[in-house]
Amino acid sequence: MAIRGLYAIADMATLSARGISLRAYAEDLRAAGVMLVQYRDKDADDEVALYRAEEIGAVFDGSGATLIVNDRIDVMLLAGWDGVHVGQEDMAAADARVIAGDGRVIGVSTHTMQQVWEAEQGVADYVAIGPVFVTSSKADAAEPVGLDGVRQARERTSKPLVAIGGITRTNAASVIAAGADSVAVISGLLSRGEPVQKVARDFLDILR
C-alpha cells in the first residue's frame, strides 16, 4: 500500500457545502486513476458513516486503491477498508493499532516537530504534517508550517510523509520537492468550473 502522490480526501462537510454528491465525487476520483483516498465525516452517525464508506468502497471495488477512514476505526473495520487516520485529539495511534491489528494502515496527523518525532517513534505507518499553507477546509486548523516545516518534518521521520493544508496544483510540486511523499487534498480538488476528474488528473500528472 504505497503512500505517495495524490491523497484525495472525501470530506463530507466540504462536499455538502458545495452540493457535490459523495458517489459522484468518488466516481470521478476512480475515473481519474486516484489510488489513495480518505473518507472524513465528523458529523454523521455510525449508520450513515458506514453507509457512505460502503458506497465509496463499491465505487473503488477492484481498483486496488488504498481506502482510509478518518478517525472512525469501527467504520473502517465494518466496511473492510485498508486503514484509519487519527488526529492529535482522536484515538491514540497505539490504541488504533491494537484494535486494527498489523494488517491495516495507521496514519497520524502532526502539527509540530515534537509530534513528528513522537510519530516516528510510534506505530503509525505514515506521518501527516500540516497545515502546510493556509486552509479553509478545517475551521480549527493549526498555524501553517510552510515548506520549511515540511523539510524539517522530513528530517525527523523515515516514514512516508503526507503534507496537507492549502495544497493546490500550483504549489503541489514544491511540497514534494520539500520532502513530502504525498499531498493530501480537499478543496484543491474542487476548483469551481472544472470537473473533479480533470483536476485530479492534473494533480496526478504533476506528482508523477
109 catalytic per annotation: yes
Cα distance between residue 127 and residue 76, in whole Å: 19
198 catalytic per annotation: no
Question: Closest by alpha carbon to 127, among 145, 152, 109?
Answer: 109
Cα distance between residue 115 and residue 121, in whole Å: 10
182 catalytic per annotation: no
Kindly name the residue from 97, 138, 154, 156 that is annotated as catalytic: 138
First to last CA, the chain: 17
Kindly name the residue from 52, 97, 104, 109 that is annotated as catalytic: 109
DSSP state of 187: G
Cell output for 111: 502539527
Name the strand (E) or helix (H) holding 182: strand 182-185
Kindly name the residue from 40, 52, 72, 156 that is annotated as catalytic: 40
- What are the residues facing 105 on neighbouring strands? 83
- Catalogue the active-site residues: 40, 109, 138
